[in-house]
Amino acid sequence: MPHLVIEYSANLHGFDAATTLAACNGFLADTGHFGEADIKSRVVRHEHFLVGTRAEGRGFVHATLWLLSGRPENVKQALSRGVLEALQASFAKPEGMDVQLSVQLQDMERSTYAKAFL
């Protein structure tokens, strides 16, 4: 725990997934809320997308951070802001494009989350 899913539009040709994951995982590990080895993250590239009514000249990067339920609102807000700052720090905006960066936190119910170590 946690799970971080970063999605981005395929027209962001210079998007550096490795750098972005390292920045976000580094932030999450440094918070002290999670064990470093418990942070699982991945990136998904979307070939088919729209931002508003068009894709040309517009792009997005959206992160969803899945956490076990029960954390206080102020902690979740700080985590959301921190992931957004990590995205901003690792992202090079392409010239002439409008790009939206966003972060959403989602609770996973502790009672229904299952995990195994192999």
Residues with Cβ within 8 Å of residue 92, at least 6 apart in sequence: 14, 16
How many whole angstroms from its chain centre is CA 69?
A: 18
d(CA 44, CA 5): 7
Provide the pLDDT for residue 117: 85
**Domain ranges, residue 102:** 3-112
pLDDT in tens, 34-82: 999 999 999 999 999 999 998 789 999 999 999 999 999 999 999 999 9
Domain harbouring 24, CATH code: 3.30.429.10
In a domain, 118, yes or no: no
Residues with Cβ within 8 Å of residue 36, at least 6 apart in sequence: 29
